[in-house]
Amino acid sequence: MMKKTITGFSKFSKREKIDWIISTFFEDAEVAKKTISQYWNDDKTLQDLHDDFIENTISNFYLPYGVAPNFVINNREYVIPMVVEESSVVAAASLVAKFWSTRGGFKATVISTTKIGQVHFMFDGEFADLKAHFNDSKSRLITATDSITKNMRKRGGGILDIELRDKSSELENYYQLHVTFETMDSMGANFINSCLEAIAKEFNKENSASSVQVQIVMSILSNYVPDCIVRAEVSCPVNRLYKENAELFAQKFKQAVDIANVEPHRAVTHNKGIMNGIDAVVVATGNDFRAIESGAHAYAAQSGAYKSLSQCEIKDGIFTFWIEIPLALGTVGGLTAIHPLAKLSLEMLQKPSASELMEIVAVAGLAQNFAALRALTTTGIQHGHMKMHLSNIIKQLDTSEEEKTYLLNYFEKKEVSHSAVVAAYEKMKERG
Ligand code: HMG
């Protein structure tokens, strides 16, 4: 049997990596080679750029880049770029953007922008001694980062505070330096981690001059940012919400949100719908969607139970629907500066600051949630979703252009399902 492990793979050329992968895992080498190479970009400079984003790159994995027009956010008009593989997400965002554009648009506000990093360490001794040692060294810990924070301080950011936290009741001998940061228009991951490592090094150095001996375990930013929060909201009189029986619509919509607040199984799906919008814009702008995802879900579970990220209220005939979500985003640095499509997205969004991008992304999440709940509590989700998914189903049937047009027309006014499309296709074939 051929060995499926290898040493020194990283040192291979791209061609050698592909050859090894193909000869080890694929029966049809030609098909595999063609699939890998057909996604390469002819522009060598662009391909080299993509090759260097990660390690051991052998191809590019395309995702569709769509746009949702007609968003009005804080009285300003936007077209929002969205990178997502799921049909109906962009259509839903577009529909809801248009809907709310005639009802006052979206209102969004950044509540706070504080980021967090921690130096985790062990200490086997009296907390009072540790505290005295920390108080004595705190200003030197900050000074130790001066060269790293110089430019950030010029922009108005930097280290906000360093706090000593006693976690020893949760884990024996465990303490933290809990550091808060303002990173302005950058997401700040590298900046925060560099500061933390400098702080940890200094804290360790202070050891030798003191009887207090700490053991540094690690220094790393936290993707849980409950003080980097944005709120987005829509609001209108209930009677402007839906064409018929608007009151019942509003009531059912609010019930759907309330259910997500008490039932974690529903909350997870509800929030997944929100993340459909959030991730799509986060990816399109070159931001880190894993950081956003983990931070958002931790926030949804902050009470100890996993709950909805959005809320709904009906009061004095006014329907209000809003979201509060932590979003640590950047509009400078990282991929935002080097991925040509991330740059394009930011220009399309009229070159937002990080705070403005937080508002736009939160709005995309709220819009997506509104679309899903509107569909779920009225026609059901499958109606619109399958309507958008129709061309994907047809593609699996290997139709000619003429047959595809026939099927698209046939399902114009009919309910779409996978089996219904297959049945219509087979009937069409039978008729010849
Ligand atoms: P519709 O009313 O049938 O659409 O809605 P329409 O054909 O009447 O067009 C109205 C507008 O919708 C258009 O205006 C577009 O803005 C947009 P126009 O451009 O004509 O002035 N629109 C489109 N935009 C781009 N391409 C298209 C397109 N079609 C319509 N092809 C729609 C159809 C799908 C929008 C609606 O049924 C809908 O919003 N459904 C909900 C879909 C949804 O939420 N999808 C997310 C994925 S489902 C999921 O994963 C999450 C979930 O589990 C979360 C949860 O449980 O909470 C559901």
Structure tokens at 252: 């059912």
What pLDDT, on the 0 to 100 scale, is given for residue 243? 82
Positive/negative CA dihedral, 278, 283, 287, 288:
positive
CA-to-CA dists, residue 106 to 13, 110, 350, 387, 415, angstroms: 50, 13, 17, 27, 32
What pLDDT, on the 0 to 100 scale, is given for residue 209? 65
Could you tell me the distance, in angstroms and rounded to a whole number, from the CA of residue 378 to the centre of ligand 1? Answer: 13
User: What is the number of other CB atoms lying within 10 angstroms of the CB of residue 109?
Assistant: 15
Distance, in Å, from the CA atom of 139 to the CA atom of 149, rounded to the nearest integer, reads 14
Instruction: Say whether 385 is catalytic.
Output: yes
- Environment class of residue 135 by beta-carbon count within 10 Å: exposed (0-12), middle (13-18) or buried (19+)? exposed
**Catalytic residue, candidates 120, 254, 307, 385:** 385
What pLDDT, on the 0 to 100 scale, is given for residue 8? 98
Q: Which protein residues are within 6 Å of ligand 1, measured from CB?
A: 86, 88-92, 94-95, 98, 269-270, 272-273, 276, 371-372, 375-376, 381, 384-385, 387-388
Could you tell me the distance, in angstroms and rounded to a whole number, from the CA of residue 375 to the centre of ligand 1? Answer: 9
Instruction: Say whether 288 is catalytic.
Output: yes
Could you tell me the distance, in angstroms and rounded to a whole number, from the CA of residue 371 to the centre of ligand 1? Answer: 7
414 backbone φψ class: left, alpha, beta (φ>0; ψ -120 to 50): beta
Task: Express each pLDDT in 381-427 by its tens digit.
Answer: 777 777 777 888 898 888 999 999 999 899 887 888 889 999 999 99
- DSSP letter at 379 equals T
Of 370, 292, 356, which is closest to residue 109 (Cα–Cα)?
Answer: 356
Could you tell me the distance, in angstroms and rounded to a whole number, from the CA of residue 21 to the centre of ligand 1? Answer: 40
Could you tell me the distance, in angstroms and rounded to a whole number, from the CA of residue 139 to the centre of ligand 1? Answer: 55
Mean pLDDT in residue range 59-79: 98
What pLDDT, on the 0 to 100 scale, is given for residue 1? 66
Task: Express each pLDDT in 113-169 by its tens digit.
Answer: 999 999 999 999 999 999 999 999 999 999 999 999 999 999 999 999 999 999 999
Helix (H) or strand (E) holding 73: strand 65-73
Q: Mapping DSSP to helix (H, G, I), strand (E, B) and coil, where does residue 309 land?
A: coil
- The yes-or-no verdict on residue 321 having pLDDT over 80 is yes
**Most ligand 1 atoms within 8 A of CB, residue of 80, 95, 278, 307 to mutate:** 95
Split at pLDDT 50, 70, 90, the class of 429 is confident
**Catalytic residue, candidates 85, 86, 136, 146:** 86
What pLDDT, on the 0 to 100 scale, is given for residue 431? 83
Instruction: Say whether 227 is catalytic.
Output: no
What is the value of pTM for the model shown? 0.92
**Catalytic residue, candidates 107, 272, 297, 387:** 272
- The yes-or-no verdict on residue 177 having pLDDT over 70 is yes
Contacts of 359 (CB under 8 A, 6+ apart): 73, 74, 108, 109, 110, 230, 232, 352
What pLDDT, on the 0 to 100 scale, is given for residue 244? 82
User: Which string of DSSP letters, residue by residue, matches 132-187?
Assistant: HHHHHHHHHHHHTTHHHHHHHHHTT-EEEEEEEEE-TTTSTTEEEEEEEEE-TTB-
Instruction: Say whether 172 is catalytic.
Output: no
Task: Express each pLDDT in 33-59 by its tens digit.
Answer: 999 999 999 999 999 999 999 999 999
Structure tokens at 136: 């004595």
